[in-house]
Amino acid sequence: RPGKDWVLLDACSAPGNKTTQLAAHLAAASSTGGSGGNDDGEASGAAMAGNGGGGDDRYGHHPSSSGKIIAFDLDPIRFKRLCKNVSHCGADKIVSPELRDFLSVDPREEARFGEVRGILLDPSCSGSGTVHSRGDTLLNLNVSPSASASSSQKKEMTEAEKRRVDTLAAFQEKCLRHALNFPRVERVVYSTCSIHVRENEMVVASVLAEAERLGFALHRALPQWPRRGFPLFDGCEKLVRVNPNKDKTDGFFLALFVKKCDQ
């Protein structure tokens, strides 16, 4: 399990909710001298950090800990919000925000990134799992073609959305491959707030061969959670899905890659 001295990287971190949760886990690991997790493999969006809890008092950096989180975001406005949230949570001593593009990092050229052992990757996605909480359906923001649209308009809207999702998925695949290629990384969490197979299971499937070559395997995250990935390939039962209608919350997807020697 990740320990108190791990260097973690949140690749697309703003506004920082997962970043600060990850900081709480890392602080808990420091205070207990271990991982802050239990042994059943439970995971959240910050799965590589175990399952330790904690309130505001657990963000303080333990004197014996050298663990830290490097938090990237490329958008200047969202980056300001990230910095504000990190400061508000008292996680400044653990989290180092950087206004930077994750894909621009070459961990073999910059030594500090060669020390990263866990990566949380929650890249830009369609957000299709959050339409209810955002109120898109109430505001008539064309979440789906309206009943009054002509058949040609519906087809055009559907094709436009498919192109958008395909573009996002290509970006997500690129980010996931990049994360898996960090030289010392042992755990990579890939997550989205999308319900689309194209952004979820298909992205995971596209990198499986490379992940295997690099020594990674899918690990069963949140083992007690009943809703798993759609059965498109062997191992989908290790993936996590949250259904916005059945689970009464936003839609979500998570995959956890673990270096085989770390399982």
The DSSP letter of residue 156 is: H
Cβ atoms of residues 62 and 27 within 8 Å:
yes
- State the DSSP string of 90-140: T-TTTEEEEE--GGG--TTTSGGGGGEEEEEE------GGGHHHHTHHHHT
- The helix/strand/coil state of 49 is helix
Catalytic residue among 12, 125, 175, 193: 193
Cβ count within 10 A of residue 92? 15
Distance CA 7, CA 207 (A): 24
Q: Could you confirm whether 175 is annotated as catalytic?
A: no
- The helix/strand/coil state of 243 is coil
Q: Which residues are part of the catalytic machinery?
A: 193
